[in-house]
Amino acid sequence: MITTDYNPEHPDGSMPPPDLCERLLHAAAEAGAQGEIPIAAAIVTLPDESITSDDASSARTTKDAAPWREIALATNQVETLHDPTAHAELRAIQAAAKIFQNERFAHCALVTTLEPCAMCAGAIVLARITRVYYFAPSEKNFGMQRLLHAARIDGTLNHHPEMCSVPQYASRSARLLKDFFQSKRGAASNSNDGV
């Protein structure tokens, strides 16, 4: 597994604020309680950047505005919408694109409770998102870290978002996922007991 932990030497020295991280974990837990895989994601402006409203077509930024402005927050809705593409990351990107009236927002970061899958990674690259902060690494799927690593080796992709793990929230995010899947397996096992 390839990992790139948060680099304290990062140029802007930034990490997602704790209140945003807590909101994401809470939203993920609520999604899990509703039968969705407990994942949440948010699109935020990077510190010292904000969207100006005078030119909606270009989603320009202005310096010295409020840091970490939350643009969109979403959870998985695959089961509810009967849509295999209704991942939290895609839904947050779609909501942000509507707000910006633009398909690209390089002045933004995506913060998510789980490392994005290959499908979501493609959307992140297309949206030109600058940085991805994730709590728990993807251990069962081909996650974004591996995808970007392979793309760097073979020279593909014209945009490479910076990947930053947020390890202080990894165990809580992983616990939500583990508990969710254990309860699903337990429910499936109990329904087969009478067969």
Q: Which residues are catalytic?
A: 89
- β-strands 108-114, 131-136 pairing: parallel
Element holding 187 (H helix, E strand): helix 170-192
Count CA atoms within 13 Å of residue 158 on its CB side: 3
CA distances from 159 to 1, 87, 154, 194 (A): 22, 21, 13, 53
User: Cα separation of 111 and 129, whole Å?
Assistant: 11
The token pair at 99 is 């707000």
Measured N-to-C along each axis, helices 144-154 and 118-126 cross at an angle, to the nearest 10 degrees, of: 60
Question: How many Cβ atoms are within 10 Å of 90's Cβ, its own excluded?
Answer: 23
The token pair at 21 is 């991280």
